[in-house]
Chain A
Amino acid sequence: MADGATRAPSAVATAAAAGPAQETVRTPRTDPPAGPAAAAARRRGISWRQRLEIAVLVAPALVLMVVFVAWPVLRAVQWSFFTWKGYGPLVDFVGLANYVSILTNDVFHGAVRHNLFVVVASIVLQLPLGLAIALLLNRPMYGQGVLRTIVFVPYVLAEVIAGVVWFQLLQPRYGVIDAWLERFGLSGPAQGWLGTPELALYAVMIVLTWKYLGMAVILMLAGLQGIPHDVTEAAEIDGASWWQTQWRITIPLLGPTMRTWAFLSMIGSLQLFDMVWILTRGGPANATTTMATFLLTEGQRRANYGIASAASVVLFVIALVMALTYQRFILSRDNTVDSPRRGKR
């Protein structure tokens, strides 16, 4: 937990990432956050009634997650210690052999590298683009509503639909993109964008950027909604240009929103599956495998469920380590709101 001085402003903006920030001027906090319940809790612990309320409110969500998330995952962990073809009894215990197998597997190493590339490239590409588009959409202009809707179109599309269309676009020679290049006297790569091992990952990355940029925009826009007009307008009245206002005031206030988005983007990139599966199935020549396509190939196509499960555990551990690191060094500054806050006045 950060100290109050750094927490107060970031907490506001984190809330702004998803919701209203009605506080226009932040008063320094004079006392620890205290709702009536909090005060009561400090005095005599929480009552049985409150415990019951908490249990009733949280239990349905927890039950759902235990049944449909935790339990299947635990089963996967169990399978990872066996050689299992997917049917019949689970008898062939092999200890850590499946883990040794994937950790010494070049294809899996490649998959981890590709995931890390996507993590970094997503942030490098989508953060500035998403921010720029959100700032653009936040300016009063004609057709703003239509514009906002259009920007979200790729994000709303199903991966299957977007994948089918992009697959057609990227076809060598007979695809739309190559047809356009030909009109300008250029030609695409001989093996096609998705068929050239050196290019395929970049081609996939471009499609991913197109598809998921809307997520960055929507979060940043929500964050921008929470930045009070008064603050930016005051700066403009003081003679700051639009650019100066964005650079000095808006973007710093968006910091927590950006960090939250980057966290979600990172997790999504590590779990990347659908679009790659539709576009390349991890090919050509394993140039676009991800950890998720690797484990699905092992599981569904080769019936090595033990190895696939071990890969899923490794994927989870990598995601966990990266998430905890991120939490520790970056998100901790924001410290997602931990208690009700007093309004101003």
Chain B
Amino acid sequence: MDHLLPSEIADADRAFPEALAACGDLDAVLRLKGAYVGREASHAARLMELLKAAPREQKRDLGAVVNALKNRWEEALKARQAELEAVKKAAGGATWDDSLPPPLPARGALHPLNRLMDSLVDVFRPLGFHVEEGPEVETEEHNFDGLNIPADHPARGSADTFYLAAHPGQLLRTHTSPVQVRTLKQLAPEIHAKGGIRFLAPGRVYRKDEIDPTHSPMFHQVEGMLVGHGIGMHHLKGTLEYALRALFGPHTEIRLRPSYFPFVEPGCEVDVSCPLCGAKGCRVCKGSGWVEILGAGLIHPNVLSFAGIDPGEWSGWAFGMGVERMAMMLSQTPDLRLFFENDQRFLKAMGGLD
């Protein structure tokens, strides 16, 4: 039907996309709009005149062509106008409403458990501790045997420990302590050159506990270990006093109580003066002023021997703490499950970002 149009209109239509693209600002679009679809002296106005004057039998076809053309121009102009408006808005300084709060950039969050583990690493770094890690699927040798855990210990049972169906000797580690075994074995040949061993092992561990407000089949631990010459309980106490004060504040007191873990001797539980009430007695410390925070002790000579380190020459300490437990205590989060629900509001509030 284009043959119905005068050549200058057809030319104008061909030039239209380029002219539109060349419009650098809204004024230019308005000028182009005037030229193409304005009321007077525009291409559209000219077409309307043509239509009026057209012979009766052509009117219908011509009308359709004119309308299509006009619509196309109008739509394209509108789109370009919106585009330039958006650009202008984005560029925006001039039109910004100063009374509004300036927009914040997107902000996510680290998980609170990861932040807590990172803080522990930060606290131990100045003492020369680095980070060692191990796999979550472990062998009985690393998870139990190398830690002086007797062959008939109930923790080895399938009621407590997850085992792999196709690989009978393999299990999901029940603590981060197998990292001790791996690291001691790995570093034993170069222990003299390195001048001992000191590391933290943060990570995920698994125990066959039903999910409830205080239990989870997966949780996190941070293990700490040091091997050197002449290491005794005083070194364990000194290190933990430093670290727990760094975490809970300079006025924190610590208390060691005798306890038993097969992989340490002597063994102890470590309490801190309640960081929430300043040891005055509250709900969290059950009025005692103390909160149990971790288990520790001097590395059992059998553990060193198993790894090929002479317990006659070397000695050391180890500790292990539950990250969730500490996080719950510090934040008074009432339910462990919140840490695995990952509600963004919880993560933002509890984990945040440095």
**Same complex origin of A and B:** no
